[in-house]
C-alpha cells in the first residue's frame, strides 16, 4: 500500500509535468518517485519481517 501512495500518480500528471518543465524533468520525476516508492515499500516490508509480522 505504501508503494501505491508514493509512486507516480497518473499519465495526466506526467504529461502536465512534461508540458510545464520539460521532458528531462518529467523523466527525473518519474524515476525518483518510483525509486522512493520501491525503497519505502522495501524498508517497511523488511522491517515488518524483522519484527515478526
d(CA 21, CA 2): 27
What residues make up the domain containing 14? Answer: 2-50
Q: Please provide the DSSP assignment of 3-40 as one string.
A: HHHHS---HHHHHHHHHHH-HHHHHHHHHHHHHHHHHH
The answer to whether the CB of 41 falls within 8 A of the CB of 3 is yes
- Number of domains forming the structure of the chain: 1
Q: So what's the pLDDT on residue 9?
A: 80
The answer to whether the CB of 32 falls within 8 A of the CB of 20 is no
Q: So what's the pLDDT on residue 8?
A: 81
Q: So what's the pLDDT on residue 11?
A: 92
Per-residue pLDDT for the chain (53 aa), expressed as one digit of tens each? 999 999 888 899 999 999 999 999 999 999 999 999 999 999 999 999 999 87
Q: What is the pLDDT of residues 9-19, one digit of tens each?
A: 889 999 999 99
Amino acid at each position: 500500500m505504501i508503494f501505491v501512495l508514493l509512486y507516480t500518480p497518473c499519465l495526466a500528471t506526467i504529461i502536465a509535468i512534461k508540458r510545464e518543465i520539460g521532458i528531462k524533468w518529467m523523466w527525473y520525476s518519474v524515476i525518483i518517485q518510483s525509486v522512493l516508492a520501491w525503497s519505502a515499500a522495501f524498508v517497511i516490508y523488511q522491517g515488518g519481517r524483522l519484527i515478526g509480522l
